[in-house]
Structures are given as C-alpha cells and as structure tokens.
Amino acid sequence: MKKAILVAIGFILYGAAMWYYLMHGAQADLPVQFRGSAADPTMFMNDRQLKLSYDFSRIKDWIYFLSVPLEWLIYLLVLGFGISKKMRSTVKEVTRFSVIHTALYVLLLSFLSWILTFPLRYYSYTISRDYHISVQPFKGWMKDSLIDFWVGWIFTVLTVLVIYFFIRKSKKKWWLYAWLISIPFTIFMYFIQPVVIDPLYNKFYPLKDQVLKEKILTLAERADIPASNVYEVNMSEKTNSLNAYVNGIGSNLRIVLWDTTLDKLNDKQVLFVMAHEMGHYVMKHLYQNLIGAIILSFFGLFLGSRIYSWAISKWGKRWGIKGLSDIAGLPVLLLIFSLLSFVAGPVENAVSRKAEKDADRYAIEMTKNPDSAVGAFQQLTISGLSEVNPPKLVKFFLYGHPTMLERITFLDSYKHKYEPKELEKAKKQQR
C-alpha cells in the first residue's frame, strides 16, 4: 500500500511537471526568419484563434503525456494488488472451457482499464467540445467509445488466444509462430478496414458534388489509381476538423473526403489535399506501412518474449502467476508491448514525417498551385486549432506529420517555381 501511495504521488508530480513544461517552460516561438511569412499564424489567424490554438494544443498534449503512463500504472496496479490472479480464479469458476476463460478474463481486464481511463478520456472529449473542435453529443461519443471497447475486446481475445496457444506449445519460440500468424491477419485487416471497420463509426456515401467528383477521378486517373468512385463521410456530426484519405488495398481501395473538408475548402484546395493522399498510394506508402508493421511486430514479439520470460521468472511468484502460459500474466505482456510501442513511436513518427513530406511534394508538383496548397494547410490549422510550431518534445512523441510551420514553408517555396508560369498564362488569356 505504501508503494502504491508513493506511485500515485509520483504520478501526480509527473503530471504537474508536464503541465508546467507545456504551459510555461516549452519554447515554441516562431523563428524570426518566418515572421510575416505564409507560415506565420498571425498572418491568417486572429488573436482569439491564436489563443485558443495555443491553449487547446497544450491541453491535448498534456492529456497524451498523462494517458501513456496511466496505462502502465493500471497494469502494475492489477498485478501488484493481486487483482489479476483473482480474475483468473473467478473466470475458472464459471466454466471448464479455456477459450471462455480467456475471453472472460480479457473482458474483465479491458473493462477495468476502460473504467479507470474513462475520466481522462471524458476530459479530453469535454476539452474538444469546449474549444468547438468536437460537436458530437455525449450520446454519440459514448456510442463510439463502446464500439471501440467491443471491437478492441474481440481483437484482443483473438490475439491472446493465439499467443497463449503457442506459449503452451513452445515457451521459447512462441513469439515466432505468433508473428507468422500475424502476417496474414495484418494483411486481412488492411483489406477489410475501409468496408467493415470504418462504417461502424460513420456513414459513407458517394460524393454528392459531381463536378468535384469528376475532377478528383481525373486526378486519380493521372496518378494511375484504379478508383471508380469518391466517398464522402458525414464527419460534421462529430467534428469541425478537416481530413481526407486514401486507404485499403486491392478491390477495397477507397478515396474518402470528410464533409467538413468539402465545406471549408474550395475545389482547388480540395484537389491539392486529394493529390497529397493519392501521393501516398502512388509512392506505395500504404504497402510500406503494411511491411513496416510486419517488421516491427517481428522485433516487438521477439523482444517482448525475452522480457516477458525474465519478468515472470523475477516477479511471477509475487504476482501469483504460475508460469508463462498463465492468463494472469497477460497484464505483464500488455505492459511490455505498450512500453516497446512507446519506445518505437518516435522512430515511426520520423518515418511517417518523411512520407508525408514526400506526399506534399507529389501533390504540389501534380497540382502546381502553391496558393491553394498553402491556403489548405492554413485552413486546416484554423479548423483543428493546431499549433504551427509545437515544442520539440511534442513533435518527437506525437507528430507523424511535419509541423504546420514546416509544411507551409515548404509549399510556399514552390511559388517561385510555379507562380511566374501561372501569371504568364493569365496574361496571355487576357490578351
């Protein structure tokens, strides 16, 4: 109990330190050379928007930096207080079938975690509502949260069943067999995501604006993307933020626009955004992400298996865990994978930022319209209350995209390449 109190005090002090850093200590002033440029937020945001952007971004960043260690603390709490072994004993009293034991144990652990993290997730939701990023009623937010819970439970049960099956078969090579099974499963998930998972949360329908649809499909044809339709999704029921994407593989490829993007961007800006998303497809980023996920899972499972064996041998008896194949050890495994994912996050972010910049380059070279490109990102900044130049620590851990400062500055530099040609073309048309 004393250790638990000390851990709780440590977590509170950590939260206070992160709050001070983000609100007062972090340096994120715009460099002098960019002041007055297209990337300077004072050039396209009013004082109120600047204030809201700063406050909203820093609070959301703080919530992230709290949520990650909170997950770790929950797993340690479940282990340290003997809750895991009690849940194992409880589910074994229900039935003699091990598959049901696993499903019920995962349900209890997931529910406990869901309850303990609910206050922070609800606070994040209310902040988004207060700053008018989210417009989703509480009922709709709860519905999505419950869908998240049950979808997550199903996939966790399947994953745990596979992992513990192989642990029982081979305590040394279970990670390799689990990884081999994960490959077709990961590919399958990429394939069904647009047509099975995404529609659980939102309604998708063909783009209503036929003129814009033809422009986008023409752009797709130029990019050699085999798309016959463009989809619109009713995100305005939930948010004021903007987005668009191309996802799925094979016959399930989808070009999707949020209706908020259609409402707040003009056609040229939308075409730039879509050209960016198409750039991901053309440069095979979707398949690179798939391969990257498979490679990372290989190393994650390998390292995880080694750390798991060490942790069980060192603390297993204290936690009431009878061996590697004991379901009561699941919080240990989840804690390890969460820690490994956190460590790998900055590397994944760096790779993602490179891909995003390549997609920006592809889009600007396809559309040849720097003004629309810059205008699109300025509007994205306003609508999402994004911080143009976030603190380095935030960028390191959270940013899978270049900062708005980097993106707008990069795209604005293309004015020297394309604007003279466009002006000359306009003059000829006037003559």
**Is 101 labelled as part of a ligand binding site?**
no
Q: What is the 3-state secondary structure (H, E, C) of 222-255?
A: HCCCCCCCCEEECHHHCECCCCEEEECCHHHCEE
Contact 330, 109 (CB under 8 A): yes
3 state DSSP class of 257: strand
Angle between helices 47-80 and 83-92 (to 10 degrees): 70
Q: How far apart are CA 386 and CA 82, in angstroms?
A: 43
The catalytic residues are 277, 360
**Element holding 68 (H helix, E strand):** helix 47-80
Contact 87, 108 (CB under 8 A): yes
**Is 71 labelled as part of a ligand binding site?**
no
Query: Which residues are CB-neighbours of 336 under 8 A, at least 6 positions away?
Result: 304, 307, 308, 311
β partners of residue 244:
257
- Angle 40-43-46 from CA coordinates, rounded to 5°: 115
Query: How far is CA 121 from each of CA 64, 145, 427, rounded to the nearest angstrom?
Result: 10, 9, 55
Query: Which residues are CB-neighbours of 383 under 8 A, at least 6 positions away?
Result: 240, 241, 242, 260, 264
Please give the annotated binding residues, written as ranges: 276, 280, 356
Please give the annotated binding residues for Zn(2+), written as ranges: 276, 280, 356
